[in-house]
Structure 1
């Protein structure tokens, strides 16, 4: 067993998967554009924590738990899908408001500080597909007899990778030229974000059926 080879393989696969647009990226971009860089980074902190929870759970037996009790995975998909749909509806409702009122409402609704972190945490945990991804990733990359230090390093590295990727996306979209473009199309983009969140939620519910 080559621990560093395993580490490099896991991180490469994780970063490639993180770059695929999904709920985590969407909520990071939406928060950053609507309520500023600090809001986006607050959301990212929640995504980091959730990513580490998924990674630790998968490495410590989450796959076995879902295999022994499939209803738990089904329940997670049901709750997660409902949450994403609820969040999408909130964004669609917000899109009907005037742009300035919309931005203020989003900022006050919990996109900064610990509330932003909570939103990032919930969005990541709501995506039950993350459980399947992490379980598959570690099943094919990490041997059962991997040392404890490697498991701890992988969990920490997943958190670091999430922070670097989503944090850089938050910083990128809040650059002045991009922020100015967003302001011109704020209502339409907010409505689009809401529709996409609802799509993710509906897909989770459909996959559960």
Structure 2
């Protein structure tokens, strides 16, 4: 059994970090929660995203993502489930915004338990078929014949730490008092905007884009 070379590990982690920093559904989930419910709740969303990253990383290195190539319908199921989930989150945010006022906008976030926030982050990344494409490509970069489980675990753990660090930083930034004060002024409109973006991401997944 072979280990992943350290230079390959570093390149893989850097590639993942670049993707994690970029705007997308993961960042939107963390940012909207941080603005609406504060840093503590947003950190649980970040933890959920990091958990999803671990699952994708570990399974891709062990070759599980190739099952989607062997059975294309699995990718369609993932795409439909992911798109529907993002649209569901979006509709909830839009409904909260339509009720008007800071209290209504924040109620949708604060009514969530920590477990629900964690599941929200996990769901956003685990049901994203674009994550499947990324991790399939990553597996081609990182995997060598006869790779051992310890190396797969090391790589997955590294991506998890990177993921949590990135989204915890976003949670901290978007929960700053200055930003939350501005959020309070336009809470209803911002919630509807967040909802529209979630719906857009979901619609793009359903359309296969």
Asked if these proteins are the same fold (TM beyond 0.5), I'd say: yes
Structure 2 gap segments, 5+ residues each? none
Matches within 5 A, 1:157-196: 157-196=158-197
Alignment counterpart, residue 31 of structure 1, candidates 26, 30, 33:
33
3-state SS of 2:22 partner:
coil
Tell me the CA shift for residue 184 of structure 1: 1.6
> What are the Cα deviations for residues 153-184 of structure 1, in whole angstroms up to 9, with x where unaligned?
10001110011000010011111112212212
The residue aligned with 1:55 is 57
- Displacement of 1:141 in angstroms is 3.1
Report the CA distance between 1:94 and its aligned residue: 0.8
1:61 and 1:146 map into 2 onto residues whose CA distance is 10
TM-score, normalising length from structure 2? 0.93
User: Could you tell me how far apart the structure 1 residues matched to 2:104 and 2:66 are?
Assistant: 47
The 1:53–1:2 alpha-carbon spacing in structure 2 relative to 1, beyond 3 Å, is closer
Runs of 4+ in 1 over 6 A off after TM superposition: none
- Provide the residue aligned with 1:81 in structure 2: 83
1:122 corresponds to: 123
Count residues in correspondence. 206
With 59-68 and 69-78 compared, the bigger mean Cα shift is at 59-68
1:2/1:50 CA distance change after superposition, 3 Å: closer
Q: What is the CA distance between 1:45 and its match in structure 2?
A: 1.1
- Quote the Cα distance in structure 2 between the aligned partners of 1:90 and 1:60: 36
Residues 91-100 or 140-149, more deviating: 140-149
CA contact (8 A) 2:4 2:143 kept: no
CA–CA distance in 1 between the matches of 2:154 and 2:31?
28
Q: Deviations over 1:23-70 (max 9, x none)?
A: 110000011110111110011111111111111111112232011111
Unpaired segments ≥5 residues, structure 1: none
Q: Work out whether residues 63 and 139 of structure 2, in 8 Å CA contact, stay in contact via their aligned partners in 1.
A: no
Which residue does 2:102 correspond to in 1?
99
CA distance in 2, matches of 1:52, 1:62: 13
Contact 1:62 1:135 in 2 (8 A): no
* Structure 2 SS opposite 1:96: helix
Rounded Cα–Cα distance in structure 2 between residues aligned with 1:104 and 1:94: 8
Question: What is residue 68 of structure 1 aligned with on the other side?
Answer: 70
Superposition TM-score, scaled by structure 1 size:
0.93
